[in-house]
Amino acid sequence: MTVYKAPVDDYMFVLHELLRVQELASLEAFANVSADMTRQILEGAATFCEEVYHPLNAIGDEQGCVLENGVVRTPDGFADAYRHYCEAGWNRLGAPEERGGAGMPGVVVLPASEFAVSANAGLSLYSGLTNAAHATLARTGAEWMQEHVVPRMVDGAWSGTMCLTEPHCGTDLRLMKTRAVAQPDGSYRITGTKIFISGGDHDLTDNIIHLVLAKLPNTDGKWVDDLATVNFFMVPKFNLDPSTGRMLDRNDVSVGGVEKKMGIRGNPACVLNFDGAVGYRLAGGASAPGKQSSSAGMAGMFAMMNRARLGTGIAALAVAEKAAQNADAYARTRVAGKSRPGSGVPHTISEYPDVKRLLMRQRAFIEGARALGAWVSLQIDLEQASNDAAQRRRSGNLATLLTPVIKACFSDGAFQAANDAVQVYGGHGYIRDNGVEQFVRDTRIYQIYEGANGVQAFDLVARKMPAQGGGLVTTFLDEINATIAEASLVPALDACTAALRDGRDDLVLAAKWVAASGGDEHGDAAGGSYDVMSIFGVVAIGLMWLRVAKVAWDRIEAGEGDPRFYRRKLALARYWVQRELPLTRVLLERARLGNDGVVDLAAAHF
């Protein structure tokens, strides 16, 4: 069986020493956030995830989900664990108090979410999807949904899904075929097929609330391939009485199949058939046939997708954490080679430089990315909660720019970390009984979830970087420059500071190249987009490591805390700036090639 210990102390460092969230108590959302409260939440979530969720992880992977008589059955123990998770309130830490939640800011909820995914990626996904769905309904749903549907999703009695992808259509929503026909009572009839729907059916909750993309006819009453006709709908598994929220008969939504997946097998990827199912339009309310606002439904969908992309990056990081813990545990117990002369201590593989290289790469990525993810989560909180309009704009710019970076670079790094875990184990990593090959299978999907990483890269160069005349990039560079200026006052950090300065310069050159190349989907910027995105990821994590190093150095100098903890942080920071930040120069040179060498072969010649 694999091991897992939630990184409570690391998150306490990130939240209260690096980000200093306790200093935001003047904001209503942070009024009750103290170090004591945070530790209590984190230790409680850690204990639950370690003792209840983690033991079911291998069972979920082995058994998977099974379709029986039109209903999906989850693995043994999942239903009880899910119920206990909801009863304990871990599923609703971030939900508003008026809806039955704890009202915690997202940056405080983040650690508990990571712990749950690390412990059991498949089981945690049910709650994760539901949280995204009820938050979307809270923003876009009609009043009766706010009153009757959202609270049942918050308490976990009902779950939620996102139904976007179709058999012939993934990212290009214009090609969707699912249709919505308006009814005299203000509802709609939804007809079409959706695929890869995580948690699309299961036996954990009484009802499932599907959030579905579907087309309306255009103003001429025709069905056309136009994004302006795509809207967002709520479609329950069991019909509801809008006046009371009471469950009625089964809606016309059926499970066409459950995919035989590579990983995260404890959560089903369903084919869902909507055969004239009753649905309700979101964000725009009821409207007459042919009258629709494209922005209403799509705004709700994109808001949900952006949150899901951030969540995907953090989920990938969570699985990487578990992979790294198991690689470390194995390396420290696997004896190989001769003992050091005179030591009499068995020589474990953790002493070999190449194994240490793998372990250091895992740790430097995971802990740097964790700090970055928490910082961006805090920016989302500040965009919503700050009393300062300039701060709200600044935080919004940072979160918008870095969302595709976190989703793609975290999932790429997590997949590498999982592969490194197998490499540390050697042949034993390739054997299923040892459990680490599951990490490779599980992390692989995050590079595809919520828009493949290549899509994230093009979104970054074509939309995010040019936005506001490059203003989002300028905001990020301001953060880097301020950090460099502060760290420059500490001579002991000169090497780290210089490395980030060089990485920043490469980022600036990459941004200028993108601006000169344009945003055409077949142009040079598209060909170099992945490398540009990778530069952002390496530099963003480097930014966090320099900030971490500054805090660690200050604590050591002041004689505060455990010096071993801070020296460890400094060692990991040095690894990142020495081994990873220099890659920006290679990435820049490759990015500036654009399409050169990429488009030389016609598709038929591959």
Q: Which pLDDT tens digit goes with each residue over 122-163?
A: 999 999 999 999 999 999 999 999 999 999 999 999 999 999
**127: in domain:** yes
Q: Which two tokens stand for residue 179?
A: 């249709």
**pLDDT for residue 145:** 97
Q: At which of 283, 302, 321 does a domain end?
A: 302
With 80 as the cut, is the pLDDT of residue 487 above it? yes
Q: Which two tokens stand for residue 94?
A: 């971030």
With 70 as the cut, is the pLDDT of residue 287 above it? no
Catalytic residues: 450
**308: in domain:** no
213 beta partners: 232
Stated pTM of the model: 0.95
Q: How many CB atoms lie within 10 A of CB 59?
A: 17
Tell me, yes or no, whether 497 and 592 share the same domain.
Answer: yes
d(CA 593, CA 576): 26
Which residue shows structure tokens 């966090």? Answer: 544
**151: in domain:** no
**pLDDT for residue 188:** 98
With 80 as the cut, is the pLDDT of residue 175 above it? yes
**Mean per-residue pLDDT for 65-82?**
96
Tell me, yes or no, whether 167 and 132 share the same domain.
Answer: no
Are 6 and 115 in contact by the 8 Å Cβ rule? The answer is yes
Which residue shows structure tokens 């909801």? Answer: 86
**337: in domain:** no
Q: Which two tokens stand for residue 254?
A: 């059926």
d(CA 560, CA 548): 15
**Mean per-residue pLDDT for 157-172?**
92
Tell me, yes or no, whether 188 and 122 share the same domain.
Answer: no
d(CA 133, CA 141): 11
Are 233 and 180 in contact by the 8 Å Cβ rule? The answer is yes
User: Of 116, 128, 141, which is closest to residue 45 (Cα–Cα)?
Assistant: 116
d(CA 471, CA 463): 12
Phi, psi of 289 (to 5 degrees): -55, 135
Q: At which of 302, 327, 356 does a domain end?
A: 302
Are 168 and 162 in contact by the 8 Å Cβ rule? The answer is no
d(CA 206, CA 258): 20
Tell me, yes or no, whether 22 and 68 share the same domain.
Answer: yes
**pLDDT for residue 373:** 98
Tell me, yes or no, whether 83 and 33 share the same domain.
Answer: yes
Q: Which pLDDT tens digit goes with each residue over 362-381?
A: 999 999 999 999 999 999 99
Tell me, yes or no, whether 121 and 191 share the same domain.
Answer: no
Are 530 and 447 in contact by the 8 Å Cβ rule? The answer is no
**pLDDT for residue 298:** 64
User: Of 315, 329, 318, 267, which is closest to residue 2 (Cα–Cα)?
Assistant: 329
Phi, psi of 489 (to 5 degrees): -80, -5
Quick one: pLDDT band at residue 173, thresholds 50, 70, 90?
Answer: confident
- Specify the CATH number for the domain of residue 194: 2.40.110.20
215 beta partners: 179, 230
Tell me, yes or no, whether 232 and 296 share the same domain.
Answer: yes
Tell me, yes or no, whether 182 and 286 share the same domain.
Answer: yes
User: Of 546, 499, 551, 220, which is closest to residue 368 (Cα–Cα)?
Assistant: 546
Tell me, yes or no, whether 91 and 180 share the same domain.
Answer: no
Tell me, yes or no, whether 465 and 591 share the same domain.
Answer: yes
**pLDDT for residue 296:** 53
How many structural domains is the chain composed of? 3
Are 148 and 244 in contact by the 8 Å Cβ rule? The answer is yes
**575: in domain:** yes
Q: Which amino acid is residue 440, in one-letter code?
A: V
**pLDDT for residue 292:** 42
Q: Which two tokens stand for residue 67?
A: 């379709």
Dihedral of the CA atoms 223, 228, 229, 233 (nearest 10)? 160
CB within 8 Å of 400: residues ≥ 6 apart: 306, 464, 467, 472
Quick one: pLDDT band at residue 342, thresholds 50, 70, 90?
Answer: low
d(CA 160, CA 132): 8
Q: Which two tokens stand for residue 517?
A: 């190349």
Tell me, yes or no, whether 592 and 481 share the same domain.
Answer: yes
Q: At which of 90, 106, 138 does a domain end?
A: 138
495 beta partners: none
d(CA 552, CA 565): 8
Domain that holds residue 248: 160-302
Are 4 and 319 in contact by the 8 Å Cβ rule? The answer is no
**pLDDT for residue 425:** 97
Q: How many CB atoms lie within 10 A of CB 348?
A: 17
Are 128 and 89 in contact by the 8 Å Cβ rule? The answer is no
**605: in domain:** no
**530: in domain:** yes
Tell me, yes or no, whether 133 and 168 share the same domain.
Answer: no
Are 67 and 255 in contact by the 8 Å Cβ rule? The answer is yes
329 beta partners: none
**363: in domain:** no
What is the Cα 26 distance to its own chain's centre? 29
